[in-house]
Amino acid sequence: MLTMRSSSVATEVLSTVEEFRGWRRRLGATTDAGPKALLGFVPTMGALHEGHLSLVEQAASQCAAVVVSIFVNPLQFGPNEDFQKYPRTMESDLKLCQEAGVKAIFAPSVQDFYGAGTDSTTIVSPPKALVDRLCGSFRPGHFDGVATVVTKLFGVVEPSRAYFGEKDYQQLTVIRHMVHDLNLPLEIVGCPTIREKDGLARSSRNVYLTAEQRAQAPSLHKTLTDVRDRSLSGAMSLHDALAAAKQEISSLPGVVVQYLEACDTDTLEPLTQARKPMVILVAAKFGDVRLIDNLIVQ
Ligand code: AMP
Lowest mean pLDDT segment, chosen from 25-34, 184-193, 270-279, 280-289: 25-34
Q: What is the pLDDT of residue 32?
A: 65
User: Cβ distance 124 to 147 under 8 Å?
Assistant: yes
Euclidean distance between CA atoms 59 and 41, whole angstroms: 7
Q: CA of 178: how far to CAs of 55, 76, 144, in Å?
A: 20, 16, 11
Section 52-68 average pLDDT: 97
Could you tell me the pLDDT band of residue 36, with boundaries at 50, 70 and 90? low
Q: What is the pLDDT of residues 98-119, one digit of tens each?
A: 999 999 999 999 999 999 899 9
Q: What is the pLDDT of residues 133-152, one digit of tens each?
A: 999 999 999 999 999 999 99
Nearest CA to ligand 1 atom 14: 165
Among the listed residues 49, 52, 142, 221, the single catalytic one is: 52
How much is the pTM? 0.96
Q: Which atom of ligand 1 is nearest to the CA of 42?
A: 7
3-state SS string over 176-230? Answer: HHHHHHCCCCCEEEEECCCECCCCCECCHHHHHCCHHHHHHCCHHHHHHHHHHHH
Could you tell me the pLDDT band of residue 7, with boundaries at 50, 70 and 90? very low
52 carries an active-site annotation = yes
Inform me whether the pLDDT recorded for 62 exceeds 70: yes
User: Cβ distance 238 to 279 under 8 Å?
Assistant: no
Section 184-201 average pLDDT: 98
Q: What is the pLDDT of residue 29?
A: 83
Q: Which atom of ligand 1 is nearest to the CA of 204?
A: 3
